[in-house]
Structures are given as structure tokens and as C-alpha cells.
Structure 1
Amino acid sequence: MVITEQQVRAAEARMKERVSRTPVAREAYFDQGTIVLILSDGKRFTFRPEQAQGLEDARPDDLRQIEISPLGDGLHFPALDADLSVPALLQGVFGSAAWMRSHP
């Protein structure tokens, strides 16, 4: 499959439009038992690690390093090999449907 330059430019334009409409993470850190996200629209979003699948049993040292994906739509916790979707978090989705049912 050959991808043309025009297709690449169109995809980049669609992504730029999506990012402009949806807040993404610009900064993320662990502070006093809470994960803090600073979003591209200036808002702050916080949650406790035990609320999120993959972080629920983490030690504070496991949460100190948080990597933000290049587009700002994902968080990676290297010490835990855990990933979270920023758009899902903002919608109140902190894990898979099965996990959410078992962690009210």
C-alpha cells in the first residue's frame, strides 16, 4: 500500500482538528496520593491511583514517573508497564468494562 503526500497532509489536518477540539495532557505528575493532569485547555484533572486499572496496587515510587504520549492522549507508567487513555479518563472511564464493574 502506497501512501501519498496528500494523504499524509490530510491525516495530519484531521489530527490537528481533533486535538484542537479535545483537551489533551500537557503535564502529568503524582502529588500526595493523587495523579494530576494539566490539560491543553488549562484545566486540571485529578484522580486517585486506586481508581485506575493498572495503578490500583501501585506504590508511590511506581507513580513518580509518568510519560505523556506525543499527542497528549495517553499516559504511560513505566514502572508498572501501565497505560491510560486521557480521553477515557476525562469521560470517567478508568479501566475495562469488566474492571470498572468490579471496582465501583
Structure 2
Amino acid sequence: MSAGLSMQELSSWLGVRSDTVQDWCSGRRPVPKGVFEQLGDLVAKQSSEACRLGPELRGDLDTAVRLLLHSDVDAQRNGWPTAAAFNLSVMRGWSLHRAS
């Protein structure tokens, strides 16, 4: 998923069964409007975090790697659904400001 969530992570975050998410992704069932809104909010949060972190990282990969979260528990304590969702923001911030 573009927000950095696997189907399993998405189903857990949304509180739905994994086969429901599979049905949405395959087109067998329509995706509820609320799910699109939640994903949109997450992508907006990721973009905002990437823009905030970018100047701090100054394209330094070592600094970016130190910021990465290794546990979903840590991510959830900081308001993220998964470590992968936060880590995607870090890497986007790094890529925005890396040396050309």
C-alpha cells in the first residue's frame, strides 16, 4: 500500500478482517468512504512529517537510519499505526533533501 502498510497491517489498523482488505484490493467489495478518509489522513501525516524531517536530515542517510523505528509498539506510542508507516516518512524526508 502507498501508505507503507501491508494488507495485514491495514486490516489490524482498521480493525477489519484481512480477507475484507483483500476483497477491497481485488475489487470484489467497495472500499468504504471512511477507509479512504483514514488512509488520506495517514498519507497527509506522512507528507507533513517528511517535510518537517527533511531539513533536519539534510540528506544524511546515517541520521535517517537512526530515526527509524523498529517496533510497531514504539510507533503506536507516537501516534503511528506501524513502524513501517513512520519509517516511510523518514525515508521520504531524507530523499527530499539528499545531495543531487
TM-score by length of 2: 0.27
Q: Which has the higher contact order (CA 8 A, sep 6+)?
A: 2
Larger radius of gyration: 1
Q: Which structure is higher in helix share? A: 2
